Structure 1
Amino acid sequence: MITRPVPSFKTIVREVWKPLTLLFVWDVIVTVVYFVLPFRAPQLPLTLFGSVVALFLGFRSNSAYQRWWEGRGLWGLMINASRNLARATRNFLPDPEAADLKRAVVFRQIAYVNALRCQLRRQPLDEATLEYVAKADAQIAIDRANPANGLLDGAGRKIADAHRAGLIDTVQQSAMESILVDMANAQGGMERLKNTPLPNHFRFFPMLFVHVFCVLLPFGLVETLGFATPLGSTLAGLMFLAVLAIGDDLVDPFANSVHDLPLCAMCRTIEIDLLQSVGVEAPKPLTADGKGILW
């Protein structure tokens, strides 16, 4: 996620420079032809065209942002549920009989959120995940088709074992199980966002209309702007192409790009809170790198 208060103009141009270069060349061609040949293109209702394109882009950008914000909300629920699980584990399980079980549940939860992060980003389980998997003795869980769900199931089994051992009562077990249900629901929502892209027509038609509008733009500006048409048309096209790129950047909040959710930082937040809840030394929070990117 980009944390700078003002987006970098260089970053925007880097994403759209190819179509922008083609647009500039096309604008130059139209301008030269206009002044060299006696041909005059008919006046185009660019205001009407631009309004329609803007409506399409606005709707698409709003849809993409809603997906991004829903992903952030689901991870907020995951952070809160992780804290609730750690607090219930610490308060319900007695000391010193269940000290090892407390740590096992906490380590498994940290492994769970990191495994979920890797799954959503389509990455193999990284060192941070495997480290806590080993601490929680949860190797069998990560061998499943859905390692994150396997780790969550294992946490439920440990809570059930604690109930059978008389360490917690039925009410406490039910309270802890409800927290796991909240996590499973949040994970399901994240997987839905990841596995269900925007429908094809939401992506194809705005792209098509923007490019057609950019092609027609110099015909409507050349009579007014004259030799300044390539500059004016390219700047106007930059605005439309930038909004189009923004929609592409936000549509998948888990794609592991600079525009997506900082899953690593949120997993580190969970790790810090949970380790401190059981008295274990915790690492420092992640911060943005020198380019203002928080992963």
Structure 2
Amino acid sequence: MILNDTPGVGQILREVWRPLVALFVWDVIVTVTYFYLPFTAPSLPLTIFGTVLALFLTARSTSAYQRWWESRTLWGAMINASRSLAREAVTFLGPRDEGQTRDLKRSIVLRHLAYVNALRCQLRRQPTRDEVLRFLSEEEAAEPLARVNVANALLDGTGQRIALAQREGRIDTIQQTQFERVLVDIANAQGGMERIKNTPLPMQYRFFPMLFTRVFCVLLPIGLVETLGVATPIGSTIAGLMFLAAHKIGDDLVDPFANTVHDVPLTAMCRTIEIDLLQGIGDEAPAPVQPVKGVLW
């Protein structure tokens, strides 16, 4: 996630220089052709086309931002539920220095830290093994790592440990129900994230805006050259840049888990959970994730 109010010049150039160069070259060709072979193009159709395209791109960008914001909201819910799970583990399972109870609390917390980091990796299509082994032993991690949905397997294991604690009399059924409510909230948040990741925008929202934006940029200098003359390459390129930028905004936000600078900062949020939960059981916690060149990952 970019934290600066405006992206850096270098980043802007990396993202738009190719279409801008192609657009400028086309504008120059149209301008030179006009002076050698003058032609007249009606401006009204281009004006109507541009207006409709702007509305189309606005709707697409709004849909993409809604996906991004829903993802951030779901991860906010995940942070809250994680804190609730750790707090219940600490309060329901008694003092920290009781042998087996202490181990059970630590197991619940560490499994959950493995869970959130595994979920982050799954959403970003990255390997989960190393992140899981940061918190669990090879023996504990073997079963969840053997399943397709590693994060869900870890959550199942946490539920099983809580059920075992109830059978052993460490917690009562009411406390188990409280645990289960939090686990359901966590599972619902995961399901929402997976829905966003696995469901792209409809094909019409992906194909037609791209097609119409390119067609408009091709027609733009033809409609402007009679008015702007030799200034057409500059004016047309700047106008085209606005439409290309509107299209790019949708591309940047449509997948909030693509591991790019425009993503929801999953690494930072997982670190927030890690700090809160480890300190809750009295363990040393790492430092918060810091922005790198104005980007929080």
TM-score interval, smaller chain? over 0.9
Deviations 1:33-67 (A, max 9, x none): 11111433344432211110000000000000000
Measured after TM superposition, the shift of residue 10 of structure 1 is 3.1
Provide closer, same or farther for how the CA distance between residues 38 and 83 of structure 1 changes in structure 2, counting only shifts above 3 A. closer
Structure 2 counterpart SS, 1:260: coil
1:161 match: 164
Give the conservation status (yes or no) of the 8 Å contact 1:34–1:40.
no
Tell me, yes or no, if structure 1 residue 193 matches structure 2 residue 192.
no
CA distance in 2, matches of 1:271, 1:54: 43
CA distance in 2, matches of 1:43, 1:162: 75
4+ residue segments displaced more than 6 Å: none
Corresponding residue to 2:151 among 148, 151, 160? 148
Tell me, yes or no, if structure 1 residue 120 matches structure 2 residue 123.
yes
* More moved, 40-49 vs 242-251: 40-49
1:54 match: 54
CA distance in 2, matches of 1:281, 1:19: 49
Q: Which runs of 5+ in 1 are unaligned?
A: none
TM-score by length of 2: 0.96
Letter in 1 for 2:264: L
CA distance in 1, matches of 2:44, 2:137: 67
Structure 1 counterpart SS, 2:284: coil
Letter in 2 for 1:117: R
Letter in 2 for 1:85: L
Letter in 2 for 1:202: Y
CA distance in 2, matches of 1:42, 1:94: 80
- Superposed counterparts of 1:1-295, under 5 Å: 1-95=1-95, 96=98, 97-125=100-128, 127-134=130-137, 137-289=140-292, 291-295=293-297
Give the conservation status (yes or no) of the 8 Å contact 1:118–1:126.
no
Give the conservation status (yes or no) of the 8 Å contact 2:121–2:127.
yes
Letter in 1 for 2:118: A
Provide closer, same or farther for how the CA distance between residues 251 and 6 of structure 1 changes in structure 2, counting only shifts above 3 A. same
Structure 2 counterpart SS, 1:122: coil
Letter in 2 for 1:5: D
TM-score by length of 1: 0.96
Q: Calculate percent identity across the aligned residue pairs.
A: 66
Give the conservation status (yes or no) of the 8 Å contact 1:108–1:138.
no
Structure 1 counterpart SS, 2:189: helix
Measured after TM superposition, the shift of residue 21 of structure 1 is 1.1
Q: Which runs of 5+ in 2 are unaligned?
A: none
CA distance in 2, matches of 1:88, 1:128: 24
Letter in 2 for 1:68: W
CA distance in 1, matches of 2:245, 2:126: 29
Letter in 1 for 2:198: N
